[in-house]
Structures are given as C-alpha cells and as structure tokens.
Structure 1
C-alpha cells in the first residue's frame, strides 16, 4: 500500500473516530420554557426532532401547525418528541420573553410538545446542546425552523433547512422511530402503536 493510500486511510479513520468521540445530544442540560432545569437524558431511548422556532417568522404558522400534527401522529407511545428551542438570532423574529412565547404557541397552535427557554443557536454564545447538533451534523442553521433528527441514542441522523417541510421529513422520522429496539419500548407502548399505513396517510393528507 502506497504512502498516499495510507495517509488517506489514516485521515478517514481519524475523522470517524473524532465523530464517534463527540458527546451525544442527550448528555446536555437545558432550561425548559418555565425556567426549570431539564436533563436531556429524559429523552434518551426516544427519537427527537429538535427545531429552533420563532413567533414572527413567515414560516411560523405552517411550521407550528405541521410540527403539532407530527407530534400527534408519532408521539402516540411517548417515543417521539418535537423539542422546540426559541431563538431570536434570525431576523429578530423571536423578540418575546419565554412566557409570552409559550402562551403564543399554546393559544394559537395548541402546542403540547416540549418547549425550552430562548437560546442562541449559533455564534460564541450558542447553547452547548445546539453546538453539539451542529458538530454532529455539520449543518449550521441560518434561519428559523431548522430541523435536526436525533435517534434514541442521541446521535444526529439528519438535518434539514427551513424550507424543507415536515411532510418531506416524515418518512425519516417514522423510520427512526421504528428503529428503536423493541426492548426499549414497553408492552403498553407497543399495544397502542398507531397503524403505519394510517399514520403515514393521515399526516401526508393533512400537512
């Protein structure tokens, strides 16, 4: 094997090892939108769609409605969660305090998925949990409603930009949910599992 091939192999192996050495998303602690400290370990064993949200964005209405429906469809056994992180870094379109943000989401969209305290998602003051999403995926959000799909082990599977609709990512979210080992899902959870065809058709029809 030539020196060139050895060098390429070493660099590739180093890149993979570096990725594997990254802490996973669930190792971090955040504040919920009511100011209480929350360990993301609470979500280990489940799939998460992490989204930076904003109240005054042109994508707010369609995104909140679709995310709410996605949670309703895939959250039937508490193994899928939309995790919403308000952020004011893009167009200053989330200027409100946490209480106002929470009331806005609940009143206008009946949001029940977890919401967290407003944070920075890019730059020097970005929250470590979001830095982890970026480091794992190599995708930097440049607007509101970026979406990061995190598996049951805290590893980022995919990331999508603002313009990618929830309908377009549904199959990936469903596949991640279906890949959770059965031993992680309790018998009670399995017995209430939504029929796949019904779930798929419902969300694609209504989004």
Structure 2
C-alpha cells in the first residue's frame, strides 16, 4: 500500500489483531478468576433457620432466633374442622415443653378451600382471643405453586411431601433439618412423644456442655 508521493504505508491490521487477541485473553482470564472465586467462596448452608419470613404484622424476621431449639412448624387455618382440637393440642404442647428448648411455629395458609380467608393480623388475633394460643404466628403464605414460601418449600422438599390439607406438622431439629412430619389425621400423641424425645436430647446435650 502506498501513500501519496509513492512512500509505502505500514498496515495497522496486525497491530489491531494483536490488541483484539490480548483483550480477549484478558477478559477470559478475568472471567476464570471470578468463577474460581465464586467456587472457592464458602457457601452458607441452607437450613430452615437460615430463611427470613414475614411475621403476622408484615415485618421481615429471621428464623435464626429459633436455632438451637426444636420447632414444630404447622400450616394452620382458622375455620377448618380440625381448628379447635388442633390449636388446643398445639398450645398444650407449647406450654408443656416451654420456649427455652421448643416452639410451635404457625404459618397460616388459605389454599385449602375457605378455611383461612382472613388477613395475617386477623388470623393471629383470632387464634389468640378464641383459643388462647401463645405460640408465634407468621404471615399468611402459599405452600403450593410458584409462589410457595421458600422456608416452607424447604420443609416440603426435605420430606418430598406437600400438605394435602391444614395442620400438617414438620419437626425441625436444632440445626434446622426436618427430622419427621405428620399428616393432619395422625394422632397428636405420636407428635408429643417425638417432640418430647428431641427436647430431652437438647437438654442432655446442653448439660453435658456445661
């Protein structure tokens, strides 16, 4: 290639090509570094207590406060045929075993007919005023479909079962893992025995650590 006057002009194409290759290599190395960093970064273990949920007033709360205790997580409803008996037995268990090592955690769900039509705050107030319950209530959730509450999905994924009705019960150990579940029609005495045994384990372990 010649410029005006007959002097040759050196082509810039090889230089541009080298710069392009160098830039591609730099980007590639950067991507590999980021990928390696993510792979080597410690991943926070996922368990029930690692989730955040809404309480009955709509405030975001962490379930981390229940770590180290046994939790009986229940999908509750205000107007089910089982409501009165279920709330009575759950409150008795909550009171009997105390909150130092155990809690019933109630998650209202309105996906089973018209058994839970109210708002979260109404549901909590109704349960406390009508049945005298003192265990924690959380915001109304969905436990089926694409909008399933992540914390509850962890429970159902753990046991590979999705509740077919109200008052299914999931027993979560102090480390946040599901160790047992019960359908609504299973006897409460079985639940009480399993929960009490887990609470005894927690107490013995804590005493041994003193």
The TM-score bracket by the shorter chain reads 0.7 to 0.9
Aligned partner of residue 34 in structure 1, secondary structure: coil
**Alignment deviations for residues 113-166 of structure 1 (CA, whole Å, 9 cap, x no partner):** 010000001211110001000111112111000000000000100011010132
Q: Is structure 2 residue 74 aligned with structure 1 residue 38?
A: no
- The corresponding residue for 1:68 is 91
From 180, 183, 188, the equivalent of 1:166 is 188
Query: How big is the alpha-carbon RMSD for the aligned residues of Structure 1 and Structure 2?
Result: 2.1
- The corresponding residue for 2:114 is 92
User: Which consecutive aligned stretches of 4+ in structure 1 deviate over 3 angstroms post-superposition?
Assistant: 181-187
Shift in Å, 1:37: 1.3
- The corresponding residue for 1:8 is none
* Gap regions ≥5 residues in structure 1: 1-20, 191-207
Larger-gyration structure (1/2): 2
Shift in Å, 1:92: 2.6
- TM-score norm. by structure 1 comes to 0.76
Distance between the aligned counterparts of 1:186 and 1:119, measured in 2?
A: 39
Distance between the aligned counterparts of 2:76 and 2:170, measured in 1?
A: 12
How many residues matched? 167
**Higher RCO (CA < 8 A, seq sep 6+):** 1
Say if 1:22 and 1:136, in contact at 8 Å, map to a contact too. no
Cα 1:80–1:30 shift into 2, 3 Å: same
Distance between the aligned counterparts of 2:195 and 2:182, measured in 1?
A: 12
